[in-house]
Amino acid sequence: MLAFAIDLARQAGQLLLDGLSRQRQIDLKSPYELVTDMDRASEELIVEAIRARFPDHAILAEESGGAFGDGRPTWLIDPIDGTNNYAHGFPFFSVSLALWDAGRPQVGVVFDPTRDELFTAQAGAGAFCNAQPLRVSRIGTLASALLSTGFPYDFGSRDDNNLREFSRVQARCQGVRRCGSAALDIAYVAMGRLEAHWEIGLKPWDTGAAALLLLEAGGRITDSAAAPWHPWSPRAVASNGLIHDELLEVLGWR
């Protein structure tokens, strides 16, 4: 399963690289939420391969939808995590694939084609970047930490848009980055480039693979109340574990 997911992610990533410098067809799903022709092409490549190889598996993908499969193994697919970045030619985006079974992540792959960084994890077998083992950082205080976050697409029409939280955390840490791909942000927490990532309004395909990377690298991911995280949690806090409780306190989510 892991080898299959790796091959698919690499194929989709190469497709995205090939299309990055060309003019892209861009449509709007909402006023500020984009979808490109390459989102659809990447997803079609992935979905067709899964259906051909595993016709009994369920699929939940960002563009074509679907659902968890009533006890069947289920693939969570984000064909471009960071579509806005991709549409503007900003080189921070990824392909994210996860296989869930029995309510738990079993395989996770996040591929950054612009840096040729392949993040992989298998339940109980560790997490890796280009075959090198991943471990979260050992920084134990928010004051010494570098974090990332994201904002919901409907930022301007909701009060809980993460702006207050961003202001509070920014004042207490060494910096907060807003990179635009939650899958890569959480992968960076898993490898120790960041100490934590928090976000409002994530979808199952955004976090399905990255959460497994983080857990296998020794990190922690919860919802806003420190309860066990699941892909439909409306808020997610992912960290190295050492600053998790302090971050929740500063966010005001406990």
The whole-model pTM stands at 0.95
* pLDDT at residue number 69: 65
148 within 8 A of 179, measured Cβ to Cβ = yes
Residues with Cβ within 8 Å of 45's Cβ and at least 6 positions away in sequence, in order, are 8, 11, 12, 15
Burial class of residue 210 (count of CB atoms within 10 Å of its CB; 0-12, 13-18, 19+):
buried
Our CA dihedral for 157, 161, 164, 168, rounded to 10 degrees, sits at -160
* pLDDT at residue number 71: 83
What average pLDDT does the chain have? Answer: 93
Calculate the CA 167 to chain-centre distance: 23
The angle, 0 to 180 degrees and rounded to 10, between the axes of the packed helices 244-251 and 163-170 is: 130
For residue range 145-188, what is the model confidence (pLDDT) as tens digits?
A: 999 999 987 777 788 899 999 999 999 999 999 999 999 999 99
CA angle 160, 87, 202 (to 5 degrees): 30
Tell me which residues of the chain have a pLDDT lower than 70.
32, 69
* pLDDT at residue number 28: 76
* pLDDT at residue number 217: 98
59 within 8 A of 77, measured Cβ to Cβ = yes
